[in-house]
Structure 1
Amino acid sequence: MSRATSLMRSAASGGRVTRLELFFDLVFVFALSQLSHHLLEQPSWGAAGETFVLLLGVYKVWVYTTWAATLLDTSRFEVQWMLLVVMLITLFMNASIGSAFGAFGWLFAASYLLVQLGRGAWLLTVGLDRTTHNHFVRTLIWQCMSAPFWIAGVFFGPGSRLMFWGVAAAIDLGGHMLAHRLPGQKTEGSRVPLPGERIFERFGLFYLIALGETILSTGLAIAGNLEDPLIFVTGTVSLAGSVAIWWCYFYSLEQEILKKLASVDDQFRPGILAGNTLVVLLAGLILVAVGDQLAISDPAARPDVATVLFLFGGPALFLAGRGFFIRRVLGHRQPSDLAGIGALAVLANLSFLLPAFVAAMGAALPLIGVAVADAVNRRRRTQQGAR
């Protein structure tokens, strides 16, 4: 057996997520905080577009590195060093988020390309099986197609950066959605040695970290406004919304997905779909975090358009992403998600007439309703299965 081949994960390697992988995730807590602050400092459509493009860049670094760590034996010295080097470079990339559309756009783009292209080329040397090797060759080709636009965004200046980087991010996202197909070439998912349960565990842990950052930002906003008695009400409502999101993801969705994976041979396609859906869920959490901070900063005032969009758009994105994933992977519709989105739309229009803390309640109530509906439906299915 060659040295490169031995880097592949085997049955003896174990399927548990290692502490190094969790340590690697910590640098992305910083990234999500930076993204929330970027949007909070300038709550506008332009800043929202910038935040989403930067989120795609940050997420692509995380998901491709995580994918590699899932396929490889993380007990091997070479794989551990790969994670640590990516972590170091990504730290500087995330530190530049606040100035990515200003003076330090070059640092964000250079760090991003160094990680994506460098790790992609390194993966071709570790002795992957033929199907997976060919897939990563195509992945590297897609990344090379987006690279000129990341570079052009730096050299053409801040004025046109969003346009160039938007195209680059769209290419990267499109490649992921299409499983990096090229003319006449595609990946046979059943032949990819992907441990589905492990990759979904990594997605769940990352989402939990993102949810924790939302709670952290809410807590910091409360700490800065303790003199207002309405802060306690608004903070409680914000936490209730975060708990409802946790319940909807981990109590309902995760268990059903793991059960589904155990019954299918091709775990590659659900993994690709889960990766794309996670971007939507993360975007929703960023909106939730910003909306909560805006409501907490002045709970008695009537919310402006930006605050309403953040407060209600975040939960709506979460429910839409969750419903889409359940429909595509589990094969059934989730009426509670559609009802929750409808309720959010109605309450969003009414919230312009109400104080911000009441608007925050309106944004949390549909999430709580969906969580309760999930609990009732799960108990009903459990009782029916026991008969």
Structure 2
Amino acid sequence: MVRARSLIRSAASDDRVTRVELFFDLVFVFALSQLSHHLLEHLSWVGAGETFVLLLAVYKVWVYTTWSATLLDTSRLEVQWMLLTVMLVTLFMNASISSAFGAFGWLFAVSYLLVQLGRGAWMLSVGLDRTTHNHFVRTLIWGCMSMPFWIAGVLFGTELRLMSWGVAAAIDLGGHMLAHRLPGRKTEGSRVPLPGERIFERFGLFYLIALGETILSTGLAIAGNLEDPLIFLTGTISLAGSVAIWWCYFHGLEQDILEKLASVDDQFRPGILAGNTLLALLAGLILVAVGDQLVITDPAAHSNLPTVLLLFGGPALFLAGRGLFIRQVLGTRRPSDLVGIGALVVLAGLSFLFPVFLAAFAAVLPLIGVAVSDSVNRRRRRQQGAY
């Protein structure tokens, strides 16, 4: 028992994110690339549904492994081997994304269940306190509830697989949003040791990696279309959108959230909200990445519904998720988010009249506006605090 308890992160442990955690994150760059490619190859409502189900599974693996590592002493070899083992299995899961609704659905489902249930069971042996131990027991119960639908989906064709895995994903998402509550059992979320500042830092680093994948996909699209005279314009527009999103997150959100978390005792609820928001922000980035690739590939094409939904839906999803998180955690509203979403809706309607490169330019403008508004407001608050 003493050996098991020694795996728990002590109060004196260094709070900095370790290299093994960042190394673990790298396998998800590949996952996000695979998800973007899957949506690009299956540009339909069914393809969007498939991509979301796959994204949810990938995200669940990352977020619960990250939380587990946050609770543990990552300098211990046992913890490092847990992360590397999950990384190996997840590599195969991510490799099967492109054929998850084809011949290798079994590989995706088996890898996902092996990680979720295996890691959850292993966490029960590391000497958790009673409240956290009970929480991990509940996560395993919820995982067992969704398991039959993941397995059944492997036996079905594409459409029925999507329905079965959709139910499984809904169960997993519902468990996450409900903090894995169970009937007749008291949930003590406020007593679960979720270090909000550190977990939010992990979310920020992961989101930075996701932005890096967006830039990588943009760069590859540019490299394949260098002969196009509009490539300098479309490439610049794509990068400007990524920079604006980066600015809105890391300059317009992160610092305010970290200051808030440092001032509250119960960091479990903000941590859950941050996790839910990150899922929406990642979905938005995938839409942005696919939209940018479509624009760079054929910038003079006339705007159609799929392209418009990708170009404007991604930024709108980002601003909506950011605005909701700010309201729920900081208790404030930022009109710039609502104004930005409104502008995106109006510009999306007008973009059907123009080529896609002009639509892409229009989709970036509200993001730049929100970024500028954040900077002005932050500077104003600092000036007011100086007096």
TM-score (norm 2): 0.99
Change (3 A) 1:253 1:38: same
User: Which stretch shifts more, 53-62 or 229-238?
Assistant: 229-238
Q: CA contact under 8 A between 1:210 and 1:282: conserved in structure 2?
A: yes
What CA RMSD, in Å, does the superposition of the two structures yield over aligned residues?
0.9
The residue that corresponds to 1:370 in the other structure is 370
- Aligned pairs for 1:139-154 (under 5 A) are 139-154=139-154
Letter in 2 for 1:6: S
Q: CA deviation at 1:47?
A: 0.3
- Aligned pairs for 1:13-28 (under 5 A) are 13-28=13-28
- Aligned pairs for 1:292-331 (under 5 A) are 292-331=292-331
Structure 2 Cα separation of the partners of residues 294 and 69 of structure 1: 38
The residue that corresponds to 1:236 in the other structure is 236
Q: CA contact under 8 A between 1:13 and 1:75: conserved in structure 2?
A: no
Q: CA deviation at 1:186?
A: 4.0
Q: CA contact under 8 A between 2:179 and 2:189: conserved in structure 1?
A: no
The residue that corresponds to 1:168 in the other structure is 168
Q: CA contact under 8 A between 2:57 and 2:112: conserved in structure 1?
A: yes
The residue that corresponds to 1:277 in the other structure is 277
Letter in 2 for 1:347: L
Unpaired stretches in structure 2, ≥5 consecutive residues:
none
- Aligned pairs for 1:29-68 (under 5 A) are 29-68=29-68
Structure 2 Cα separation of the partners of residues 107 and 317 of structure 1: 31
Deviations 1:186-212 (A, max 9, x none): 432332222211101100000000000
Deviations 1:165-191 (A, max 9, x none): 001001101101011111132432332
Q: Identical aligned pairs, as a percentage?
A: 84
The residue that corresponds to 1:187 in the other structure is 187
User: Which stretch shifts more, 157-166 or 313-322?
Assistant: 157-166
The residue that corresponds to 1:288 in the other structure is 288
The residue that corresponds to 2:260 in the other structure is 260
- Aligned pairs for 1:102-113 (under 5 A) are 102-113=102-113
Structure 2 Cα separation of the partners of residues 345 and 157 of structure 1: 37
Task: Name the SS of the counterpart of 2:81 in structure 1.
Answer: helix
Q: CA contact under 8 A between 2:34 and 2:98: conserved in structure 1?
A: yes
Moved over 3 A (4+): none
Deviations 1:106-153 (A, max 9, x none): 000000000000000010111101110011110110111000000010
The residue that corresponds to 1:246 in the other structure is 246
Q: CA contact under 8 A between 1:235 and 1:296: conserved in structure 2?
A: yes
The residue that corresponds to 1:341 in the other structure is 341
Q: CA contact under 8 A between 2:53 and 2:165: conserved in structure 1?
A: yes
Deviations 1:267-302 (A, max 9, x none): 011101110110000000000000000011111121
Deviations 1:209-247 (A, max 9, x none): 000000110111111111111111011011111000000
For these two proteins, the number of residue pairs brought into alignment is 387
Structure 2 Cα separation of the partners of residues 187 and 296 of structure 1: 50
Task: Name the SS of the counterpart of 1:252 in structure 2.
Answer: coil
Q: CA deviation at 1:347?
A: 0.5
